[in-house]
Structure 1
Amino acid sequence: LLGETPNSPTSPLGRLRKIGPAFPGSTWGEFQLAAADGQALYHFTRDGRHLRTVDTTTGQDLYQFGYDANGYLIRLTDLDGDLTTIERDEQSIVAPDGQRTRLTVNANGYLETVTNPAGETYHLGYTNDGLLTQFTTPRGHTTTMQYDPLGRLVKEENPVGGGWTLSRTQTGTDFESSLTSAEHRTSRYLVDMLNETSEHRPRRHPKCRNQLEQWDDPSDSSRWYGHHPKTGSRPAVWDALASVAGVENYFA
């Protein structure tokens, strides 16, 4: 969630905490984010490197990403096994059929331009400490990003006036993050410090139309919870295929 301190195993009060993996197949310290439509799952290392993109319907890897010893992206493999490589010395990306996309970096080493094989150039701008502030397409359409003093994203605005506004409200050791669209639709995500070893982290199930919550559970970290669509009670859902009376209405 927003504002987590990288590589920190403790709470703000210094208490040890446990964060269990949200889905099978991940290792300690890794995490996953679901696409808005629930069709894909993005798998990251604890320091933010994108490892793979998974099709949630088939369970197959749509993309796999490889890095060099310095942690730089050098390889992308798609579902068909086609390999795209990044030549760091040549500052270019080579597609499976040999087309080259040229890259340039600024004085701070941040990616500044991307020119595709058709000669179209994309431009990127940053703060002095490397936070992306704008992305401009070859047609001059610019998306901008704004951050708070701690470097957390607070606003993203696209060329047509859409985008997202993010906020964070701290209450003691707990906090709530809100994500509001340009149409003023808001989603809220909570982190509650339940005890010294666990956190309550409500999040949306990737294959669910309605709100289901998941949090660390000492006995089973795969449990999902949500309001029954008819009675309003909160049944436990063990996985995406579980059958609890009425709960199937949650899933697309």
Structure 2
Amino acid sequence: MASLQIRQFTCRSDNFGVLVHAPERGTTIAIDAPEEGPILAELDDAGWTLTHILTTHHHGDHVAANEALKARFRAEVIGPEKERAKIPGIDRTVTGGDVLDLGGVRVEVIDTPGHTLGEVSYYLPEGRALFAADALFSLGCGRLFEGDAAMLWESLKRLRALPDDTMLYCGHEYTATNARCAIAIDPHNLALQERVKEVETLRVEHKATLPVLLGREKKTNPFLRADDPELMAAMGMAGADPVAVFAAIRKKRDAY
């Protein structure tokens, strides 16, 4: 059986659209639906027919094309139970711990509230791919619009537990700004220094900074390291509660 094919592309101003296709099974999944036009163009270029939309959370820049794509393809819209009332076109709801079989593609649902109260992330073991939307970014994390620091810290620990060779896909191209904040916090981190240089080069060349290996994020993303003694020391918070460290990092990032 052929492995999954994944296409990432730009939607709106800085959103990512993602399509996951299972050859021989006829399954094509959109991770969120930020904008109809780019998604249709990508489907047409690949010769794929959309079968499912996996919604991560209710924000408009992630659900704007749900109803149009559903009407065009009769695609099934799936999203978090806690945000059912806010997700257009929703057909089925999920909660953390659920495992879906979407036309032969296994999808594991992970609760990742904090950015919103009901956000979920999706892990596809066959592709070693994590779709974390606005919960986790490369070198960053989502703003605390609805939840609090303790909530999002617990969410990110769930994502951090996934294998290092997992490819992380996110909802936005925010890595360059995240990198400036991260290196200001943790200037002596050699792995982070390398990633910052890579990000700067990619952006100069107008290339995406994602996806990225989760293993690299575990070494470089300050929000995944709020309980790391070296990061705590860099923050001047040695021995502090990791939630307090996480909150302090988020406050610094909010200022950028």
**TM-score (norm. length: structure 2):** 0.28
Task: Report which of the two has the higher share of strand.
Answer: 1
Look at both structures and tell me which one has the larger radius of gyration over its CA atoms: 1
**TM-score (norm. length: structure 1):** 0.29
